[in-house]
Amino acid sequence: MWFGDTLFYEKPIDITIALPPEKVTLTPFFHDVHILMEVGGNHYDALVPDWALSKDRRSVPALRAGRCGDKELVYFPISNEGRPTWLIPRSDLERILVK
């Protein structure tokens, strides 16, 4: 899978990703937070700014930026490690979208 194979959406779609406490570990690091979560048996992580988390720390905003085959390209807010990016199977993403 290659960057050039990605079909970028003309307008990225704002989404909110749920962070169910039983599936997620949040590790603060200065003003960033490392999210480590398990979805459908797969593990994903992202370092995001702490301001990006909801007040109850149960969700985080993101963008659906494009798709590549059966996977979705998801961008998170930029942290001190740049822009966290997931290429995540659509079925996994749908499990963690806040409706």
Partner 1 sequence: MLLSDGEIQEAVDSGELILEPRLGVRIQPSSIDLTLGNTLHVHSSQPVPGISIDPELLQVRQFISANTTEEDLSDGRVWKLEPGAFVIGETVERVGLPLHLAGRVEGRSRLARLGVGVHITAPKIDPGFHNNITLEIFNLGPWAIELRAGMRICTLIVERLGRSAQAGYGGVFQGAR
CB 65 within 8 A of CB 12: yes
Contacts with partner 1, 25-54, as mask; x by CB under 8 A: x-x-xxxx-x-x------xxx-x-x-xx--
Residue type, 93: L
Contacts with partner 1, 57-86, as mask; x by CB under 8 A: ----x-x-x---------x-xxxx-xx---
Which CB atom, from 80 or from 91, has the smaller least distance to partner 1?
80
Q: Where are the beta strands (DSSP E) in the chain?
A: 7-18, 24-29, 32-39, 42-49, 59-68, 71-75, 85-89
Contacts with partner 1, 2-21, as mask; x by CB under 8 A: ------x---x-x-x-----
Side-chain-side CA neighbours of residue 84 (13 Å): 20
| Chain centroid, CA 17 distance in Å | 7
Residues that bind partner 1 (CB under 8 A): 8, 12, 14, 16, 25, 27, 29-32, 34, 36, 43-45, 47, 49, 51-52, 61, 63, 65, 75, 77-80, 82-83
